[in-house]
Structure 1
Amino acid sequence: MTCSLRVPEPSTDLYKRAVLVRNSASTLGQTSDVQRKSALIAMADALARRSTEIVKANIEDLNRSSDEGLNQALMARLKLDEIKLKAAIEGVRQVACLPDPLGLRQLYRELDHGLLLERLTVPLGVLGVIFEARPDAVIQIASLAIRSGNGAILKGGSEASRTNDVILTTLQEGLSLSEVEPQALALLTTRKESLALLRLDGLVDLIIPRGSNELVRFIQDNTRIPVLGHADGICHLYVDSDADLLMALRVAIDSKTQYPAACNAIETLLVHQDIAQTFLSKAIPAFQKLGVKLLGDEKSQAIGIDFGASEKDWETEYLDLILSVKIVQSVDEAISHINTYSSRHTESIMTNNKLTAEKFLCAIDSSGVYHNCSTRFADGFRYGFGAEVGISTQTLPPRGPVGLEGLVTYRYFLRGEGHIASDYASGDKCFTHKNLLL
């Protein structure tokens, strides 16, 4: 469902704040690699100094959200304890150490003598990020935005309001001790502001939603600003007839139970009919022991799965300890099922047959396709990006976990010596189109 949203008036507080972020982002985009690195170190140091206060604020949010009946999947994402916060702070330091994504020469070409064309990477401008529950997203997105020379306007869910406020204030304190303007980051607090954010085209260059399917769909339907993200995380693991079954069981358990509320946890397990009896006789009790409710097709129910899976289950993202199981006749049937029901997030095959693996890897149209490993590796931190602003399942780039490279665009720079197009149109001069060393 769409709704009519008014463009914020220039006199409103949100418009003025967005202009301030835009101006700060313009200045930020001209800072040096050293300045942006130092800014991130200052942000990490500030977070470390106020870690006790941040964790305390998060406990307040957790207690309030629990009393309000927030579901367990969102409660898991909301939690930011000392261990999780320490990892997030380390992520900021890692982002600081990543190579500078700005000013990279992608093309260097002589169009004619004295007429030189360059294509260099530049910041996008201002990111508008709307997310639910996860307060560590503020840390991840802010660090990636500053490192890539972008401003960021962030709107978190009300369930994490206290934590988000303390975190952003802390990040701005860190920036105030650096050469980057603290106003490059802003936090929105009301639903009205988040709706108005979607109409700030001209001030905001990219909207990044992180949350439920409903949130992402609503944003996609109600803005003219480009949107980066995924609506669902319906991920699959296929256990082939040539799989190492002990390895497959270990990977399947990790893919489902290591963090079931994550978008890269599997929701469907596909099993080849030739090994279904052997594999499921071990997998069923193993999953049940860990509290996983198994839903199966008729064939898997005949082997011992208690509950039936409906058509709807193949297209459901549970974000919980629930797993649908289907027995397939071949890798082709597994591929067909995945390409029909997948949200194009992450899929994995367990097999020792390299030809089968390559067929699967090439035929699956998802942002991440794995062989003999857990789908839980679909993560910017695990990819070595330091952090991620989100995961994109769209076909056009950026795709998959989006780190620094996904937050830059490019600009063409042409330097000449009084060259005019008429000389080439008349034939007086000819282009050389000579590629030069990057």
Structure 2
Amino acid sequence: MTNVPEPSIELFARARAVRLATVDLVQTNNGQRVRALQLMGNALAERSASIVAANQEDLDRSAAEGLSPAFMARLKLDEKKLASAIDGIQKVVTLPDPLGRRQLHRELDDGLVLERVTVPLGVVGVIFEARPDAVVQIASLAIRSGNGALLKGGNEARCTNKVVMNALKAGLDASEISSDTLTLLTTRRESLALLRLNGLVDLIIPRGSNKFIRFIQDNTRIPILGHADGICHLYVDAAANIEKAIRVAVDSKTQYPAACNAIETLLVHHDIASAFLSDAVPAFQAAGVTLRGDAASQAFGISESASEEDWDTEYLDLTLAVRIVGDFAEATEHIRRYGSRHTEVILTEDLIVAERFFATVDSAGVYHNCSSRFADGFRYGFGAEIGISTQTLPPRGPVGLEGLVTYRYQLRGDGHVAADYANGDRSFTHNDLPL
């Protein structure tokens, strides 16, 4: 970790403050945490004009620096997106309390009872680029699940992030929970030094480019949850309904192309290619999508050729790679080779083929006859998401409250000692009790 600076005394102090505040947060009840979220939402609504104004300042500066349209789309936090973020807080409020859930209740012997109970992770460090609405999502999920959080947004959103965090802290100050449970880091040096805060930070959640996330993975001993690329595929099977397929495919690409759950590659079965592409190509073009196709698909009206690099590219923009495949096996092999295990879609009216797709494709999300854009914590009913994980171990996919809790084994006895069981004086009963 030679490229990572040591934390400053100030950063250590701020991280310790979060840790100490989190100890108090863990001891709050569900009603107190719900009340805190409600006040956080109210504070955001009351300061909406200043938040939107700060965001416009960030947008103007970023536009002058020539940042890409996809990046600008993620950076934007207008009244509509802010209202959606506040609505997300209210959704998190209505979710069941994730803490104190008894997952296991077992009598090991008379008077010796074991429980497994959900508890917070502790303190999470979240590093993200653009997307100032992520501050709202992360903060609400952290407080609701009893966790403290250190948040580091990109410099391009510094004005928005500061005003949003001030509003969230004002909401906490009006509640029974210390505003020290949340802190905003503002410099690149702080975000790098965060990687060395093992012992004070329990989990790091990076949200950004593949290169960015790999750097974090290589430079910290703190556990990481996250994903790099979002290279999502949509496969149009021979048995697809063409009208339905075009509608879903266009939505999957254009509804919000800057999102990691927008499709980047369209795979089309050879037997339906002519009928599908004759209508799909004009539909994509009308939506402003630039199509890059393999040699076979170019015969159906796609003018730009796709290179090997296109199959491995997350555009995050209105560009889509198109390939014609000979059969189901070729489609799933392409997904295995180039996919990022984020979200994959099959469009087909053949339920047997759809079930084969579910069984064959190993991604966090596998969909049948619906848009890839549903891969989102809010749409899943999580209220918000702290990130998306493409790893195989849980949590996987959009990560909500359940990804911010772990569990603890609690054992209650009455003078029991292991020696009695080792020498045969006592034996285990292992009777499961009601949860």
Question: Could you tell me the TM-score, scaled by structure 1's length?
Answer: 0.98
* 3-state SS in 1 of match to 2:80: helix
Q: Which amino acid aligns with 2:386?
A: V
Matches within 5 A, 1:222-371: 222-371=219-368
Match of 2:412 in 1: 415
Distance 2:375 2:123 in 1: 26
* 3-state SS in 2 of match to 1:271: strand
Distance 1:402 1:303 in 2: 40
* 3-state SS in 1 of match to 2:271: coil
- The answer to which of 205-214 and 403-412 deviates more is 205-214
Match of 2:379 in 1: 382
1:6 positional shift = 4.1
1:217 positional shift = 1.3
Match of 1:188 in 2: 185
Match of 1:77 in 2: 74
Match of 1:99 in 2: 96
Match of 2:118 in 1: 121
1:252 positional shift = 0.3
Per-residue CA deviations over 1:363-390 (Å, capped at 9, x if unaligned) read 0010000000000000000000000001
Match of 1:167 in 2: 164
Matches within 5 A, 1:399-438: 399-438=396-435
Per-residue CA deviations over 1:166-206 (Å, capped at 9, x if unaligned) read 00011000000101110000000000000000110110011
Q: Which amino acid aligns with 2:237?
A: D
Per-residue CA deviations over 1:103-148 (Å, capped at 9, x if unaligned) read 0000000000000000000000001000001000000000000000
Per-residue CA deviations over 1:32-86 (Å, capped at 9, x if unaligned) read 0000000000100000111111001101110011111111111000000001101
Distance 2:3 2:318 in 1: 38
2:5/2:189 contact within 8 Å kept = no
Distance 2:382 2:39 in 1: 19
Greater than 2 Å deviation, 4+ residue runs: 2-9
Distance 2:388 2:120 in 1: 19
2:7/2:190 contact within 8 Å kept = no
| RMSD after superposition | 0.8
- Percent sequence identity over matched residues? 67
* 3-state SS in 1 of match to 2:42: helix
Q: Which amino acid aligns with 1:123?
A: P
- The answer to which of 280-289 and 370-379 deviates more is 280-289
1:7 positional shift = 3.7
Distance 1:237 1:329 in 2: 15
Distance 1:7 1:163 in 2: 28
Distance 2:34 2:276 in 1: 50
Query: Structure 2: which 5+ residue stretches go unaligned?
Result: none
Distance 1:388 1:264 in 2: 13
* 3-state SS in 2 of match to 1:303: coil
Distance 1:216 1:69 in 2: 24
* 3-state SS in 2 of match to 1:405: helix
Question: Could you tell me the TM-score, scaled by structure 2's length?
Answer: 0.99
2:111/2:414 contact within 8 Å kept = yes
Match of 1:22 in 2: 19
Match of 1:134 in 2: 131
Match of 2:4 in 1: 5
Distance 1:229 1:287 in 2: 31
Query: How many residue pairs end up in the alignment?
Result: 435
1:4 positional shift = 3.5
* 3-state SS in 2 of match to 1:153: strand
1:3 positional shift = 3.9
Q: Which amino acid aligns with 1:45?
A: N
* 3-state SS in 2 of match to 1:275: helix
Distance 1:293 1:229 in 2: 29
Per-residue CA deviations over 1:399-427 (Å, capped at 9, x if unaligned) read 00000011000000000000000000111
Q: Which amino acid aligns with 1:49?
A: E
Matches within 5 A, 1:31-46: 31-46=28-43
State whether structure 2 residue 195 is matched by structure 1 residue 203.
no
Q: Which amino acid aligns with 1:176?
A: D
Q: Which amino acid aligns with 2:398?
A: P
Q: Which amino acid aligns with 1:382?
A: R
Query: Structure 1: which 5+ residue stretches go unaligned?
Result: none
Per-residue CA deviations over 1:335-391 (Å, capped at 9, x if unaligned) read 111011100000000000000000001100100000000000000000000000010
2:226/2:388 contact within 8 Å kept = yes
